[in-house]
Structure 1
């Protein structure tokens, strides 16, 4: 059984398999009920953020599909259900989700304005109570919900063009902004926190002009993550009056290492030996990723392409970080550039006897 973690459906008060329209209606109801401007009870701010995260996942078909199959762990961990299967057809593969959105921005985009309470009610509660416990916050005004983003269908002629014959154009979201995130093999071995500074445009309160804003995005690199793993920060791109900000996506890239190459969860070390050592046997010191040195001996003739495997000295498996891959030692034979005639004759005599 997949461990679900957070139950986004329960947070919004809907059943699994709810339609897109059901998700929107549920978000409208819960977001208005727990908005910190109207709900002053302890924990309302955290609940409001939790509702925004649930809506962010369930309103996105790709995120919702991964969540439905693998739960919060599969959605946020970049893997499938425990025991494997994440890399198969339709699995999440290297996808990794982390909610970094501003719940107030999501609320504003959904309702088309920063403060729908003030827009509709002139800043008054309208007698509904501070926490807005009613199932439909607009019920006390004789309005039926159902418009875009949960707006009522008709408000008369004084609502900025939101009358019964108006059409609402949904703002498009800009394509993802993709950045490479370079990591060393040592960082993949132990895991680390990367802080990435981004600059983006943010709208001013007037909703028309913008400013440049700097933000630090924290990326938690988990042990064993593969090159190509994607970490997505929703809606952290430029914001304009006509767009939904793009998602910012970081893609893991391995830095070139001086000693090792990566092969999945294994690492490869190339040991250069002389022709004499290749024929007569040798002992070499092999470095490890964590700074130790291992002694590896061979009495066999080193054949072309020969490798030695040292178990458990590679990188952690991304889905089982308590287990590690192997360290593969590849032998590269260095031939002499020249031989004296006497050396040639000696080698020829020896090889004739073998």
Structure 2
């Protein structure tokens, strides 16, 4: 098979890309490496695979090979470069070899492992989310075993160093191949990487060193939290193993809706209903706040629907800060869907006033004859102030009607 085509050796087409050639080489090398494949011809096949890759992975050599065959590359790539250069995607041949035989695990002994994190949820009222609260949550977590103090052995019994690994938790085995001597490092099976042997496991934790207990944890929730946020309590999760640290407890917050207020970031939004007379004339309103104290807000005449007014520092506190957002009062001018008879008369009178017609008429709906002026009578100058007073009086009557 020494004269076999390099493309055939790797099992790729002649127009294969560099990535395809590299992938094919890795698969073939894994299959025929002498330390993994014990067939008599595995070593020879591995050399051919490496030779083919050394040529086809080099653009210049590949071009010469395609034109002139092996003669164009002076007999291939023998002696050119390291026979393990093709494993660069695995961090070098040493890394991939270690992944086969365990040699990469120079620290395969029992390593400290951090404990698991725990999750819990609390529900807060709107006011509690603004000003903060204290809650108690019940959790079930792994803690050091009380009976054996986390050692894993029954109290009063001995813990001996492992005879196989001599307390290191690792065993090393050397293998010799055509490429030299390789050392395999793996966790000790006798002690499972602990380095010690427990002759009499704890009767409570069965040698694990941990047991599950129920605990009630007090959680301080800061002001300004919102639904979906989490409060982290460091070290309140499961205890670690082999000297590892404890996990954390994460408390998720769910905030109930309020019947008056909505939240927008650090601002609190309050919808203030107004009737059309109040919006037109202006009015002073008492506004409730989340603090529990009312605020007086004066709305000017001609307040438009959708207008907003701010009451400073009556919103939600910024997390980890003394600053607070604002309270935004959103004006909702409500148009009545039905009117009483008196309200309708007033609205019709207001409409005529806006259109410049006579401001009043008898309530029986009958027209009133106008007196003709004498031709010699001087024209009367309109008094704008009197018209304004009439409109204002009409507005007041409408306001009272609503």
Same fold (TM over 0.5): no
TM-score (norm: length of structure 1): 0.45
Task: Indicate the structure (1 or 2) with the bigger Cα radius of gyration.
Answer: 2
